[in-house]
Structure 1
Amino acid sequence: MVIQKKEPEPETRFYGFTRTTSALLTHIISLGFTLFIALLSRPGSSLFSWHPFLMTIAFSFLMTEAILLFSPYGSPIKKLSHKTKVQVHWTLQGVCVTCAMLGMTAIIYNKHLNDKPHFTSWHGLLGVLTVGAVSAQCVAAMPLHYTSLAKGWSLAKLKRYHAASGLVTYLLGSGSLLLGLCSVWFSSSVGGYAWYLSALCPALSALIIMNQVSSAYVAKKRLQS
């Protein structure tokens, strides 16, 4: 008796195609936007230049790629074990925090040298909040990496809390990048359609990542129900 395999339904194929396309688009946006800011800021040309460069690497590239590792449609290492993905995710997030800290240090020291007030704009306030949030997120995730620290806690609940707080942190980072595009430095360098295209990059990435995280947990709830 020959058992024929069921062909995937057109709706399922279309869903998979859109998910794969969205993930691929996010990879392209995160890398392209980071390279664009690197070319614009020319890191090393001044102390200030390190601020936009490092912050963009942290929140546009590293954090995006760290989240996409768990995407079933766009992970560059989807064939590797979940444990390996967690280790790579942890490493990328650690580098993300380091870049964010260095980027914040660069702008603080630059303002100190030029005798300018600190954190007087919405970009500055949201930026320091984001750096604090991503640092706290990494510390709070340690029980997931070292399960011996999770005594008395449900790992399933910790994973849900980590995903939810991670999404909030990512949205804060995207908001900080968007406000950075409104700064005098960027607005004086980029205008017209190029500015709107630049603003679309973190906004679109945030929407796709938000959809990925929410869809993953909706799917888990369906399986558990």
Structure 2
Amino acid sequence: MAELPESEPRMYRFGKVACGILTHVLCVVFTVLITVLAKPGTSLFSWHPFLMTLAFSLFMTEAVLLFSPHCSPIRKLSHKTKGRFHWILQCLCASCATLGLAVIFYNKHLNGKPHFASWHGLVGLGTLCVVGVQSLAALPLLYHSLAKGWSLAKLKRYHAASGLVTYLLGSVSLLLGICSVWFTGAVGGYTWYLAALCPALSTLVIMSQVSNTYMAKKRLVS
């Protein structure tokens, strides 16, 4: 797998590296923006956007980028080690998202507001459930003895495909969140569009990374 990028044109590799670095920057910038706007700790609600953004924008994105052949911060480590770090980041993602859901659920309870009454709430709940299932389903990749009769290659393909769906759900949840009354009331004009570009562009890069990785594997097999 490490040899594949070397056969690519130099400009193509440069573009991939630039896109990867941009994605690292975008997920951090978006997380910082939401943190500044939410001011976590100033109210119970303030923890919800902070924790959800930390989960789906920062931890989930970085967990996938660990496997990037172009911009992984631990590119020189073994695939097994990357898998361990990936699982840790995904656990942090699931933990933050669970806390974020608990916060907004309790906040709505205190204020007598209906639960999951918007697309943002429904998609967010569904995304958290999928993240939990995805994390548990990844255990056979760490401990292959749990999945007797399944090849490791097939498990990785299924995990990558379902992981991409999970990431798309997380990005949709973030985009719906910035359409909320809270966010649109806090920012306006070009700031909103720039904020929307962060998860949108990150999603395109992640989709490209996952699809190119497994298309390359298919070419090698053939």
TM-score (norm 2): 0.96
- Deviation, structure 1 residue 38: 0.4
- Deviation, structure 1 residue 152: 1.1
- Deviation, structure 1 residue 224: 0.7
Residue of 171, 177, 183 corresponding to 2:168: 171
Segments of structure 2 that go 5 or more residues without pairing to the other structure are none
Q: CA separation in 2, counterparts of 1:23 and 1:11?
A: 16
Amino acid at match of 1:161: Y
Identity %: 67
Q: CA separation in 2, counterparts of 1:103 and 1:146?
A: 30
1:116 matched to 2:98? The reply is no
SS at match of 1:46: coil
SS at match of 1:202: helix
1:75 matched to 2:72? The reply is yes
Once the two structures are superposed, residues 65-96 of structure 1 have per-residue CA deviations (whole angstroms, 9 ceiling, x without a partner) of 00000000010000111111011001000111
Once the two structures are superposed, residues 5-45 of structure 1 have per-residue CA deviations (whole angstroms, 9 ceiling, x without a partner) of xxx99961011000000000000001110011001100111
The equivalent residue for 1:3 is: none
- Structure with bigger gyration radius: 1
RMSD of aligned C-alpha atoms?
1.3
The equivalent residue for 1:4 is: none
- Deviation, structure 1 residue 155: 1.2
1:133 matched to 2:135? The reply is no
Segments of structure 1 that go 5 or more residues without pairing to the other structure are 1-7
In the alignment of these two chains, the number of paired residues is 218
Alignment map for 1:208-223 (pairs within 5 Å): 208-223=205-220
Once the two structures are superposed, residues 110-158 of structure 1 have per-residue CA deviations (whole angstroms, 9 ceiling, x without a partner) of 0000000000100000000000001100011110011110111111111
The equivalent residue for 1:101 is: 98
1:62 matched to 2:59? The reply is yes
The equivalent residue for 2:24 is: 27
Q: Which runs of 4+ in 1 moved over 3 A?
A: 8-11
Residue of 3, 6, 9 corresponding to 1:12: 9
Q: CA separation in 2, counterparts of 1:69 and 1:187?
A: 33
Q: CA separation in 2, counterparts of 1:148 and 1:99?
A: 29
The equivalent residue for 1:40 is: 37
Residue of 202, 206, 209 corresponding to 2:203: 206
Once the two structures are superposed, residues 194-224 of structure 1 have per-residue CA deviations (whole angstroms, 9 ceiling, x without a partner) of 0000001000000110000000000011111
Change (3 A) 1:208 1:80: same
1:146 matched to 2:139? The reply is no
Amino acid at match of 2:191: A
Amino acid at match of 2:129: G
Q: CA separation in 1, counterparts of 2:142 and 2:50?
A: 29
Q: CA separation in 2, counterparts of 1:126 and 1:200?
A: 19
TM-score (norm 1): 0.95
Q: CA separation in 1, counterparts of 2:9 and 2:196?
A: 32
